[in-house]
Structure 1
Amino acid sequence: MAGEQNPDRGLAPVKFSRLTRRGLLLGLSLPQVIVLGLGAAALIGALYTAGGQGLLLAGPVCGLCALLVWVPISGRKAIEWISLAGHWALRVVLGQTVYRWRVTKPRPAGTLALPGDAAALRQYLDPDTGAVMVHDPHRATLTALVEVTHPSFILLDPDEQQRRVTAWGRVLATVCRSGRIARLQVLERTVPDSGTGLEQWWAAHGTDDGSWVARTYAELIERAGPTAERHVTTLSLSLDMKAAARAIRSAGHGMRGAAAVLRAEMRTLTTALRAADLTPSAWYAPGQLAVLLRSAYDPAVAATLERSALGRDLATAGPVAVEETWDRLRSDSAYHVVLWVSEWPRSQVYPGFLAPILLSSGVRRAFTLLYDPVRADQAARDIRKKKTGYLSDAAQRAKAGQIEDAEQNAEYRDVLQQEADLIAGHGVLRDIGLIAVSAPTVDELDAAVAALEQAAVQASCETRRLVGQQAQAFTAAALPLGRGL
């Protein structure tokens, strides 16, 4: 993402790199090259064995290969649907699209009681900070999360907005320089206002003198239900236990050593957040994480859980039932759909361009940004590889007499800009944007999805509904566990 200062305002516009579409050979991906190779092998084999009549035999095979490679279906080439549909069919046959919590069979101690591939996640209570850390034994990560409060960005003046954008860039640069961070997740979600804010205000500013007015006011606040919605932002910091193996051994081995290394990264992130005028809370305890997980799968009880001491056990925080279909997910009290931000704005936009999505009212949604930092040496190798690939493809197209594509030239300029930014000392992050939309009925869900898609258009973004992987996508988009796709 590149910026250029606007002389008329203090706020600088930004420009995102395009989603690269360069394939293995002449814009073709590896599956496309394999299918074309099979078609060519069938044609050559038929010519050698049957001569001219072999063309009639190999014609249907070559035609099928050409259709798979070049015919698009719903924005994807036909060949790309084969692996997705095959994996989905296998999961349906194995019964992996339906989850039921077995009440009579307790889950293993220390688990989070989550369905699907998140069932392997374990909790670890840090004795020093009291924070809960989520351990993923398969991906070798350890994750902690913190809630962050901040003033409304769009209400600030341009100079202050630019200062905060620069400060947030320094926070991301801090994550990149660590070398031990696997992922930083930013989750901004809407939740029903449970009335706890009114209670806190009354406790801080009210005068409870025992009078009839004070008692009546306190009763009204206590009985007030969720009449509005509020926004909650959390940051999830995931430690790469393989990259930090040496530091973990020095800190005491095992989960104890990993927790010590993660604590150091947590302190660094907290310091960077405060320098960016962001106010981090205490790192989440097990009860807070349990409420968040339960609320994601069962939104109907979210307000009740926040107002009471119930539902704060991670052993029972998971859903009772989950049913996944091709393009949506159903959990305890809601239907869900996950959208992928497939294209960020191609033209220059100002920070705050996501306001139509983040400030959309009347829609329960969770917006997630997954940042995967890339080490400087690896980023440099990737950029050199991309440059070599683009130049090689350009030479191949010139030999074949093909005209240069403006989109490919734009992608090459993005690579050159990334190289310049890396040389200037900036970090490289791979990011994914996901939007999880929830509603109590299918009709309300379809209306909410349509509203979010229209809001994305206003934000100059392109969204696509993920299919065949809604359960995994929901875990990545709606839960602050640092999970990817």
Structure 2
Amino acid sequence: MATTDYELSPVKFSRLTTRGIILGLSLPQVIALATGAVIFIAALYAGGPAALYTAPVWLTMAALAVVGVGGRKLIEWVPITGHWVWRKAARQTAYRRRIVGPRPAGTLALPGDAAALRQYEDPESGAVMVHDPHAQTLTAILEVTHSAFVLMDPGEQERRVHGWGRVLSTVCRSGRIARVQVLERTVPDSGSGLSQWWAEHGRDDGSWVAKTYAELIERAGPAGERHITTLSLALDMRAASRQIRSAGGGIKGAAEVLRQEMHTLTTALRAADLKPSDWYTPGDLAVMLRTAYDPQIAATLDRAGDIGRDLATAGPVAVEETWVRLRSDSAHHAVLWVSQWPRSQVYPGFLAPILLSSGIRRAVTLLYDPVRSDQAARDIRKKKTEYISDQSQRQRIGQIEDASQSAEYADVLQQEADLTAGHGVLRYTGLIAISAPSIDELDAAVAAIEQAAIQASCETRLLVGQQAQAFVAAALPLGRGL
């Protein structure tokens, strides 16, 4: 009988584009330089010492457009800093729950811009659906279990990768999905899982081996951690407006349309050898929200049965946001953005250094935004035209072609070839939320994750001025973006 050796194929990510409006300059840079040039020319026409008097203005505009700090130009820091100053002045960086004040029915008791989120319990499936009235999305969540990918042989890993690709392709073909969120997080283990396994499969015959094994489970169980993977499916209510009206309109109609997408997704997951659980109920979501803001209570809730499963009280009691971190109930948090994925070819398990880091409380989120095929084709044609026009302008002024620009153009051509071959196009974002009991432990955990990201050939950056919004997107399964 002949045997076939399967090899695991490497993958390659598109580069984060650095192309601007003209000659690599972004729109804010062009506006700043144009403003400075207009002031300078007007001062020259005015004559006299006007150019000298206005020098601080046009020199400042030029510096804002050219000087970079922390990977951004100074002009790009203006909206971030301005928004932070406004929120600080409006006292929106601190949240305290009003214990005696009633909460509006149907809300999730979350701080910040997530306070507008509403819950809807689908009477047919029993699933909780999160409605975002501003983004016009309706989101459902389920937990997914799977075999250890790193322990599989290359042939099985290759098959699983293609299966997951078919799942994402199914999402792209729908045209009604706004976002898919994959959230993998670590939570402290109460030891109940090991104890239950020993009670069901163990043989407690009173021997020395049985006693030693039982003592090991009792000591090691609470010190361990569990990995939980959830998948959130967000329906675009604007794109599905016709189907929603046909189903009766309103949230009930949207829930019926979302149920169709949920059934399609679970079928695709099972075909990819992934095991989806039942869709999250309000109690399941309440526990997840509570443990995200208050990690120390996770083990207690795991043993408490039905306690803590009320969405009306699942939110944090207090939140304090600073420029580079967030503090809630029992933990300090920091969110990293995966600003650059591997530029060279890597194998599908390249994120193992981050996902398998032990002793660190963290949540890794991948946000997939499907793009319709017609819109993706228009975007690719626009990018090709802009790259070609930028190239001719650089040749006209004698500017040397940059290798990174050529690589970005090659990525666009590859995306066009993949789209022509029938593949879907997704915009993806990677976020890592890290939690620790103290600031010193948080800084050490952030440094460890940054080193793990380097081992994974990724580049991470600490998000500043938006930690509260980033934490909701990275640590909560609500399908929120930045």
TM-score (norm 2): 0.95
Aligned to 1:421: 418
Query: Residues 170-209 of structure 1 correspond to what in structure 2 (within 5 A)?
Result: 170-205=166-201
Find out whether 1:363 has 2:360 as its counterpart.
yes
Using the TM superposition, give the Cα deviation of residue 195 of structure 1 relative to its aligned residue in structure 2, in angstroms: 1.9
Aligned to 2:126: 130
SS at match of 1:191: strand
Aligned to 1:3: none
Query: Residues 71-150 of structure 1 correspond to what in structure 2 (within 5 A)?
Result: 71-150=67-146
Query: Residues 71-470 of structure 1 correspond to what in structure 2 (within 5 A)?
Result: 71-205=67-201, 226-308=222-304, 309-470=306-467
Using the alignment, how far apart are the partners of 1:240 and 1:228 within structure 2?
39
Using the alignment, how far apart are the partners of 1:347 and 1:215 within structure 2?
51
Using the TM superposition, give the Cα deviation of residue 25 of structure 1 relative to its aligned residue in structure 2, in angstroms: 1.3
Using the TM superposition, give the Cα deviation of residue 96 of structure 1 relative to its aligned residue in structure 2, in angstroms: 0.2
Report the aligned-residue RMSD.
2.2
Q: Are the aligned partners of 2:191 and 2:224 in contact in 1 as well (CA < 8 Å)? A: no
Using the TM superposition, give the Cα deviation of residue 196 of structure 1 relative to its aligned residue in structure 2, in angstroms: 2.6
> Structure 1: 5+ residue runs without aligned partners?
1-6
**Counterpart code for 2:244:** I
Aligned in 2, Cα 1:429/1:45: closer, same or farther, shift over 3 Å?
same
Using the alignment, how far apart are the partners of 1:72 and 1:361 within structure 2?
36
Using the TM superposition, give the Cα deviation of residue 413 of structure 1 relative to its aligned residue in structure 2, in angstroms: 0.5
Using the alignment, how far apart are the partners of 2:411 and 2:425 within structure 1?
13
Aligned in 2, Cα 1:387/1:137: closer, same or farther, shift over 3 Å?
same
**Counterpart code for 1:390:** Y
Aligned in 2, Cα 1:250/1:207: closer, same or farther, shift over 3 Å?
farther
Using the TM superposition, give the Cα deviation of residue 392 of structure 1 relative to its aligned residue in structure 2, in angstroms: 1.0
Aligned in 2, Cα 1:333/1:26: closer, same or farther, shift over 3 Å?
same
Using the TM superposition, give the Cα deviation of residue 187 of structure 1 relative to its aligned residue in structure 2, in angstroms: 0.2
Using the TM superposition, give the Cα deviation of residue 50 of structure 1 relative to its aligned residue in structure 2, in angstroms: 1.7
SS at match of 2:429: strand
Q: Are the aligned partners of 2:194 and 2:221 in contact in 1 as well (CA < 8 Å)? A: no
**Counterpart code for 2:110:** L
Using the TM superposition, give the Cα deviation of residue 303 of structure 1 relative to its aligned residue in structure 2, in angstroms: 0.8
Using the alignment, how far apart are the partners of 1:218 and 1:352 within structure 2?
34
**Counterpart code for 1:54:** A
Using the alignment, how far apart are the partners of 2:309 and 2:130 within structure 1?
16
Using the alignment, how far apart are the partners of 1:260 and 1:253 within structure 2?
10
Using the alignment, how far apart are the partners of 1:148 and 1:411 within structure 2?
35
SS at match of 1:85: helix
Using the alignment, how far apart are the partners of 1:217 and 1:304 within structure 2?
24
Find out whether 1:26 has 2:23 as its counterpart.
yes
Q: Give runs of ≥4 in structure 1 deviating > 4 Å.
A: 206-210, 213-225
Deviations 1:176-197 (A, max 9, x none): 0000000000000001112231
Using the TM superposition, give the Cα deviation of residue 175 of structure 1 relative to its aligned residue in structure 2, in angstroms: 0.4
Using the TM superposition, give the Cα deviation of residue 107 of structure 1 relative to its aligned residue in structure 2, in angstroms: 1.0
Using the alignment, how far apart are the partners of 2:453 and 2:193 within structure 1?
30
Deviations 1:45-103 (A, max 9, x none): 1111125x333233332221211111111111111111111110000000000000000
SS at match of 1:167: helix
Deviations 1:325-377 (A, max 9, x none): 00000000000000000000000001100000000000000000000000000
Aligned to 2:56: 60
